[in-house]
């Protein structure tokens, strides 16, 4: 029997605890219980028994198994255990009938349509006031009105419509036309409504100053309005623009204002622009349509006024939220970056770092490091519109953009002095190209972000003039440390060209002004890494030396936070490119602030504990199956490399794969020795057995190309194209025919096969076999039905094996190239011409991938047939069957799981060959590399747990510090009392919730037990 929940109006909170498993037991049976709320607001539960293995058997130190977590909602139940809802013992699952709202609406569509038509007429066809109940004759019907903005469409008389709208003078009013039997638009102004400023609504002014009767314009959410308005001229007289502000409107000008916007409209558009990226022009056009959608009425155009007021409103909101209104120095005393919303989880000495953090043990120092990243966005370019003098920035370096005058002076001084060397790694466009554009004053925007929490840093954004030049990015990099960050012990810097940019960074710094100098040798250590998505396009040495996955003490940081930030900003590109310099910077500053605010309020749930346990158990299991001596050697090598990247890299292999050229050379040398000893297998004076099979494999490739070219020829191919293909076909046919004559000497049985095939074609009356369909009858395709010398089988095995290894290399290279081209296309290629050209390149690479995959499958199939007879073993550890799902690159676009969670496609792992005395060495090296990667995955997740716990502690310390700052501002001007409690309630909202013992408050992780 279920019990009624007497706390139905409150959140349902249930205490739960993860089971503890004794070390001596291999597993334990536990009861898993789930709860749900019924329609009757009752909580019922259902239970089932599950078996849980004891991970303590494989993990030496179970690090997180004794913590309590909710594996359903991601919340720690200890924090929600204040009240436990009564639950029923058992209840059958109730089946709910599936609803179909659209079908139900279709069944009632006529009723909806009738009601819409009814709204266009008189209710019940009667003329009477719904408030005073006064009836009106047809001759007096012009005095019947209704409001389309009120909650009800009641009909009211003139007196009542004015009375109920004394405080809603901006509502839209309609009047009933008895002749035409329809509603026509009118206004409260025409009915006699008038605003009196300077006094509460309803209070008369002893000396009203008549304003602009019928000419004062107010923009509100429901349209553009002309209003009657009186200013106050009595003893409480104030400046007119202040009277407008205190009424809740925002004046367009300070002197003699004639236009205003309601504050609710400014707030509405402010938030709308963040979510939809709407422009002021689009929004004002919408207001015009709301005011009159017929085009018959001339609506006053207030686009420029709205644009100007919106910029001012954004600036005032920024100053207000940063506390500048409480400062004695006001807005003019604002320092660089002070209006920025800073990350509460980042380390700030003296604010949210614990006492003695500098003296923490070496293995814990990484908890107090800063993660930043640089990148450029070439979508955010700006045309040569206006100038700094005509359109200055209102924030002037107070938020995220650097101060423009100093920035441009620095570029003029050092722009020609800094020599940018070409890339010695991959072909990086950011390094090798100057992206200056005709007609544009800025080719893009550069930034230096917090990549750990995906937030913009103060004074870290600036325009680019000629691409991603070092001189621009250097300034932004050092400027981001100017407000704070120079006291930290270590900084992790990620940049997609870090391998090039960091080489001479400190040499360039020495030539810059003193304020840009940082103590990178003694005070702060800088480590440079490459974001995970960009890493595969770099050379192999960079892919380990600069990898987040293989460098210690970085957790699961990926360095791609800058790219994620651009995703929300990119829709602004179409509007900001047409702005002046100041307007663009102010708009982007505002959107960066909203992005930071949203991020700081949504730092929530993670799965680090679960993944750390999984990776720890997996690595322990892997290690148990290896030699203790080898593991100890690898641990020493990996630890040494993590401390000094100049040492031998344990993630890189030293063995090279066997290529077809190497195999051919080896076979030629062997044939030379056999000929000298008189044991050579030669049936033709010019073509040896190995040469015969090599030519056969080459003919296979040429046949595939001929088939592809024939398929690519359209029905409208020119005579010249057809002639060229025919000549190539004839040439290849003659070569194959000559080759077949020699083949019959080595494999006499193929003669009978070809005769039988020719007779079959003749009897069926088929046409001549196309050149790409000629069967070559290589040993692997005819054995064992046709006798063949075992030495030929051995030769084909060697050649096929090397061929497959080469094809895997070709496939990997093509996949890497495709990932790079797609990245370049996404980031840099704009316009139909550039995108068409890039897509053509992608299509050619895709065709190359498909050809390599098809040839590999054919070669692997031949090897599989030969292996059983030749008794080859372990070959399928390296040459696996290639499925469509295996053909994926390492980039996120082609691979859904990250390095920390992945099981990599075998084509990126099994790349060592057999066929030599180095087999044991290759396998040993492959094991070492995979073991190092396994330990790296485990370590990164363990570090992530520790970093998250420390960051949660820092968040609370940060808001405590900021709350104390606000409390010291309580004795300032009017408005402080109203502003302060709201801000404090936001920052201290979670302080009332006690943290579980041994765990920081607010820290949420997910653990599946």
CA distances from 980 to 629, 666, 977 (A): 64, 82, 6
697 and 568 both lie in a single domain: no
Asked whether residue 414 is domain-assigned, the answer is yes
Q: Which residues form the domain of 140?
A: 119-190
- pLDDT band (50, 70, 90) for residue 383: very high
- pLDDT band (50, 70, 90) for residue 63: very low
pLDDT score, position 176? 87
- In terms of pLDDT, which residue wins out, 127 or 51? 127
pLDDT score, position 217? 94
pLDDT score, position 376? 93
- pLDDT band (50, 70, 90) for residue 996: very low
**Residue 548 CB coordination number (10 Å):** 26
pLDDT score, position 1? 40
167 and 214 both lie in a single domain: no
Q: What is the mean pLDDT of residues 673-680?
A: 56
For residues 823 and 894, what is the distance between their CA atoms, to the nearest angstrom? 12
Q: What is the mean pLDDT of residues 715-741?
A: 84
pLDDT score, position 981? 46
Whether pLDDT at 56 is above 70: no
Residue 583: name the closest of 378, 385, 303, 324 by CA: 385
CA atoms within 13 A on the CB side of 40: 10
pLDDT score, position 742? 83
Classify 375 as helix, strand or coil. Answer: strand
Q: Quickly list DSSP for 778-798.
A: -HHHHTTTS---HHHHHHHHH
778 and 748 both lie in a single domain: yes
529 and 446 both lie in a single domain: yes
939-952: pLDDT as tens digits: 888 888 888 888 88
CB neighbours of 729 closer than 8 A, spacing ≥ 6? 706, 770, 771
- In terms of pLDDT, which residue wins out, 511 or 9? 511
Whether pLDDT at 923 is above 90: no
Structure tokens, 692: 């015969």
Q: What is the mean pLDDT of residues 412-418?
A: 88
Taking a C-beta distance cutoff of 8 angstroms, is the pair 348, 484 a contact?
A: yes
pLDDT score, position 685? 61
Mean pLDDT over each residue of the chain, to the nearest integer: 78
541 and 446 both lie in a single domain: yes
Taking a C-beta distance cutoff of 8 angstroms, is the pair 584, 573 a contact?
A: no
Asked whether residue 576 is domain-assigned, the answer is yes
**Where is average pLDDT lowest: 495-499, 512-516, 667-671, 892-896?**
892-896
- pLDDT band (50, 70, 90) for residue 675: low
**Where is average pLDDT lowest: 199-208, 516-525, 627-636, 904-913?**
904-913
Whether pLDDT at 537 is above 90: no
For residues 458 and 399, what is the distance between their CA atoms, to the nearest angstrom? 6
Classify 477 as helix, strand or coil. Answer: helix
226 and 271 both lie in a single domain: yes
Tell me which H or E stretch contains 777: none
Structure tokens, 939: 């370590």
**Where is average pLDDT lowest: 67-71, 282-286, 351-355, 685-689?**
67-71
- Strand pairing class (259-262; 216-220): parallel
- In terms of pLDDT, which residue wins out, 128 or 970? 128
Three-state SS annotation for 444-494: EEEEEEECCCCEEEEEEEEEECCCCCHHHHHHHHHHCCCCCCCCCCEEEEE
Asked whether residue 925 is domain-assigned, the answer is no
Read off φ and ψ for residue 30, nearest 5 degrees: -125, 160
Q: What is the mean pLDDT of residues 920-925?
A: 62
883-916: pLDDT as tens digits: 888 887 655 444 445 555 554 566 765 543 333 3
Whether pLDDT at 665 is above 70: no
Number of domains in the chain: 4
End-to-end CA distance of the chain: 30
Asked whether residue 7 is domain-assigned, the answer is no
For residues 381 and 466, what is the distance between their CA atoms, to the nearest angstrom? 11
Most confident of 552-556, 627-631, 686-690: 552-556
> Could you say which of 158, 190, 222 is where a domain stops?
190
Structure tokens, 787: 């006798």
686 and 574 both lie in a single domain: no
Asked whether residue 784 is domain-assigned, the answer is yes
**Where is average pLDDT lowest: 589-603, 735-749, 835-849?**
835-849
Percent of the chain beyond pLDDT 90?
Answer: 27
Q: What is the mean pLDDT of residues 774-779?
A: 84
Asked whether residue 480 is domain-assigned, the answer is yes
> Could you say which of 190, 206, 229 is where a domain stops?
190
> Could you say which of 164, 190, 216 is where a domain stops?
190
Q: What is the mean pLDDT of residues 569-594?
A: 93
pLDDT score, position 648? 83
515 and 403 both lie in a single domain: yes
pLDDT score, position 870? 80
Whether pLDDT at 595 is above 90: yes
pLDDT score, position 448? 94
**Where is average pLDDT lowest: 102-111, 168-177, 769-778?**
769-778
- In terms of pLDDT, which residue wins out, 136 or 595? 595
Structure tokens, 574: 């179409």
CB neighbours of 79 closer than 8 A, spacing ≥ 6? 993, 994, 995, 996, 1001
385 and 287 both lie in a single domain: no
- pLDDT band (50, 70, 90) for residue 73: very low
**Where is average pLDDT lowest: 589-603, 656-670, 864-878, 962-976?**
656-670
Whether pLDDT at 309 is above 50: yes
419-462: pLDDT as tens digits: 777 777 765 555 555 666 778 999 999 999 999 989 999 999 99
**Where is average pLDDT lowest: 155-159, 446-450, 965-969?**
965-969
- In terms of pLDDT, which residue wins out, 673 or 801? 801
Asked whether residue 32 is domain-assigned, the answer is no
Asked whether residue 615 is domain-assigned, the answer is no
Whether pLDDT at 495 is above 50: yes
Taking a C-beta distance cutoff of 8 angstroms, is the pair 68, 78 a contact?
A: yes
460 and 582 both lie in a single domain: yes
- pLDDT band (50, 70, 90) for residue 470: very high
- pLDDT band (50, 70, 90) for residue 1004: very low
Q: What is the mean pLDDT of residues 212-222?
A: 86
Whether pLDDT at 680 is above 70: no
- pLDDT band (50, 70, 90) for residue 83: very low
Q: What is the mean pLDDT of residues 29-33?
A: 48
pLDDT score, position 406? 93
Whether pLDDT at 678 is above 70: no
- pLDDT band (50, 70, 90) for residue 993: very low
For residues 415 and 475, what is the distance between their CA atoms, to the nearest angstrom? 11
pLDDT score, position 62? 40
- pLDDT band (50, 70, 90) for residue 2: very low
432 and 412 both lie in a single domain: yes
Whether pLDDT at 686 is above 80: no
- pLDDT band (50, 70, 90) for residue 318: very high
- pLDDT band (50, 70, 90) for residue 409: very high
Whether pLDDT at 30 is above 50: no
For residues 796 and 800, what is the distance between their CA atoms, to the nearest angstrom? 6
- pLDDT band (50, 70, 90) for residue 753: confident
Q: What is the mean pLDDT of residues 706-729?
A: 81
Percent of the chain beyond pLDDT 70?
Answer: 73
For residues 912 and 929, what is the distance between their CA atoms, to the nearest angstrom? 12
Q: What is the mean pLDDT of residues 72-76?
A: 35
158 and 275 both lie in a single domain: no
Whether pLDDT at 399 is above 60: yes
**Where is average pLDDT lowest: 137-141, 697-701, 988-992?**
988-992
Whether pLDDT at 551 is above 50: yes
**Where is average pLDDT lowest: 314-328, 364-378, 430-444?**
430-444
- pLDDT band (50, 70, 90) for residue 103: very high
| Residue 730: exposure state from Cβ atoms within 10 A (0-12, 13-18, ≥19) | exposed
In the chain, the largest separation of any two C-alpha atoms, in whole Å, equals 128
pLDDT score, position 19? 43
């Amino acid at each position: 029997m279920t019990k009624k929940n007497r706390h139905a109006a409150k959140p349902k909170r249930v205490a739960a605890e993860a089971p503890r498993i004794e070390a001596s037991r291999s597993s334990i049976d536990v009861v898993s219980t789930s709860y749900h709320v019924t329609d009757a607001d009752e909580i019922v539960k259902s239970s089932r028994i599950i078996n849980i293995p004891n991970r303590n058997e494989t993990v030496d130190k179970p690090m997180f198994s004794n913590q309590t977590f909710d594996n359903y909602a991601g919340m720690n139940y200890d924090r929600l255990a204040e009240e436990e809802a009564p639950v029923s013992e058992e209840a059958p699952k109730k089946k709910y009938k599936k609803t179909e709202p659209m079908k139900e609406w279709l069944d009632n569509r006529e009723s909806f349509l009738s009601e819409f038509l009814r709204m266009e007429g008189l209710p019940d066809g009667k003329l009477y006031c719904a408030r005073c109940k006064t009836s009106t004759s047809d001759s007096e019907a012009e005095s019947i009105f209704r409001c389309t903005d009120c909650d009800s469409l009641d009909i009211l008389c003139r007196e009542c419509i004015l009375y109920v709208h004394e405080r809603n003078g901006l509502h839209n009013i309609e009047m009933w036309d008895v002749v035409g039997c329809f509603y026509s638009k009118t206004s409260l102004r025409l009915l006699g409504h008038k605003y009196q400023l300077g006094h509460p609504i309803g209070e008369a002014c002893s000396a009203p100053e008549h304003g602009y009767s019928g000419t004062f314009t107010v923009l509100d959410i429901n349209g553009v309005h002309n209003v009657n308005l009186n200013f106050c001229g009595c003893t409480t007289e104030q400046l007119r623009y202040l009277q407008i502000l205190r009424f809740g409107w925002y004046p367009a000008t300070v002197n003699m204002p004639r236009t205003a916007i309601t504050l609710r409209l400014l707030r509405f558009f402010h938030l709308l622009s963040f979510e939809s990226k709407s422009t002021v022009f689009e929004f004002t056009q919408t207001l015009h349509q709301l005011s009159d959608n017929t085009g018959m009425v001339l609506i006053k155009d207030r686009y420029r006024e709205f644009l100007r007021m919106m910029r001012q409103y954004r600036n005032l909101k920024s100053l207000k939220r940063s506390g500048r209104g409480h400062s004695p120095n006001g807005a003019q005393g604002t320092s660089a970056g002070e209006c920025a919303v800073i990350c509460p989880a980042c380390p700030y000495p003296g604010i949210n770092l614990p006492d003695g953090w500098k003296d923490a043990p070496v293995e814990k120092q990484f908890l107090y490091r800063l993660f930043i990243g640089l990148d450029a966005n070439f979508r955010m370019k700006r045309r040569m519109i206006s100038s700094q003098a005509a359109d200055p920035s209102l924030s002037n370096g107070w938020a995220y953009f650097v101060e423009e005058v100093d920035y441009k002076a620095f570029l003029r001084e050092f722009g020609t002095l800094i020599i940018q060397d070409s890339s010695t790694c991959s072909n990086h466009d950011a390094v090798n190209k100057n992206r200056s554009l005709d007609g544009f004053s800025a080719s893009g925007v550069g930034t230096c972000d917090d990549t750990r929490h995906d937030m913009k840093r103060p004074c870290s954004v600036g325009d680019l003039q000629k691409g991603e030049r070092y001189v621009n990015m250097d300034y932004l990099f050092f400027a981001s440390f100017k407000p704070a960050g120079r006291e930290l012990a270590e900084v992790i810097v990620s940049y997609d060209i870090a391998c090039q940019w960091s080489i001479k960074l400190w040499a360039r710094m020495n030539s810059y002004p003193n304020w840009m100098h940082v103590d990178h040798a003694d005070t702060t250590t800088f480590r440079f890494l490459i974001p995970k998505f960009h890493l595969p396009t770099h050379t192999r040495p960079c892919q380990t030396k600069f990898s987040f996955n293989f460098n210690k003490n970085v957790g699961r940081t990926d360095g791609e936070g800058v790219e994620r930030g651009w995703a929300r900003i990119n829709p602004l590109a179409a509007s900001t490119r047409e702005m002046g310099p100041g307007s663009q910077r102010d708009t982007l500053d505002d959107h960066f602030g909203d992005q930071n605010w949203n991020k700081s309020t949504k730092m929530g749930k993670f799965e680090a504990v679960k993944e750390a346990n999984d990776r720890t158990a997996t690595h322990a299991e892997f290690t148990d199956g290896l030699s203790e001596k080898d593991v100890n050697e690898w641990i020493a090598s990996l630890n040494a490399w993590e401390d000094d990247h100049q040492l031998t890299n344990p993630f890189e292999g030293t063995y090279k794969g066997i290529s077809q050229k190497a195999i051919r050379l080896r076979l030629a040398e062997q044939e030379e020795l056999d000929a000298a000893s008189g044991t050579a297998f030669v049936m033709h004076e010019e073509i040896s057995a190995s040469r015969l099979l090599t030519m056969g494999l080459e003919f296979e490739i040429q046949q595939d190309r001929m088939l592809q070219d024939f398929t690519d020829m359209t029905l409208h191919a020119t005579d010249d194209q057809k002639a060229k293909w025919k000549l190539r076909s004839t040439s290849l046919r003659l070569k194959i025919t000559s080759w077949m004559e020699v083949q019959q000497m080595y494999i006499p049985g193929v003669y009978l096969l070809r005769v039988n095939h020719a007779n079959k074609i003749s009897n069926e009356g088929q046409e001549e076999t196309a050149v790409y369909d000629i069967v070559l009858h290589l040993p692997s395709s005819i054995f064992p039905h046709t006798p063949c010398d075992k030495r030929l089988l051995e030769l084909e095995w060697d050649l096929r094996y090397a061929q497959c290894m080469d094809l895997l290399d070709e496939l990997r290279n093509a996949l890497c190239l495709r990932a790079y081209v797609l990245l370049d296309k996404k980031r840099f290629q704009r316009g139909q011409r550039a995108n068409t050209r890039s897509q053509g390149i992608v299509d050619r690479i895709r065709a190359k991938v498909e050809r390599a995959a098809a040839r590999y499958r054919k070669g692997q199939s031949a090897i599989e047939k030969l292996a059983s007879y030749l008794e080859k073993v372990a070959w399928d550890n390296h040459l696996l069957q290639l499925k469509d799902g295996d053909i994926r690159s390492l980039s996120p676009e082609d691979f859904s799981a990250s390095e920390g969670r992945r099981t990599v496609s075998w084509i990126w792992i099994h790349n060592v060959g057999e066929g030599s005395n180095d087999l044991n060495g290759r396998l040993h090296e492959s094991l070492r590399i995979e073991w190092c990667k396994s330990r790296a995955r485990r370590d990164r997740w363990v570090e992530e747990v520790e970093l998250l716990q420390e960051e949660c502690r820092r968040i609370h310390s940060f808001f405590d510090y900021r709350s104390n700052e606000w409390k010291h501002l309580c004795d300032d001007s009017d408005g402080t009392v109203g502003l302060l409690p709201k801000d404090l309630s936001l920052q201290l909202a979670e302080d009332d919730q006690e943290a579980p013992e041994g765990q920081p408050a607010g820290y949420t992780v997910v653990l599946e037990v």
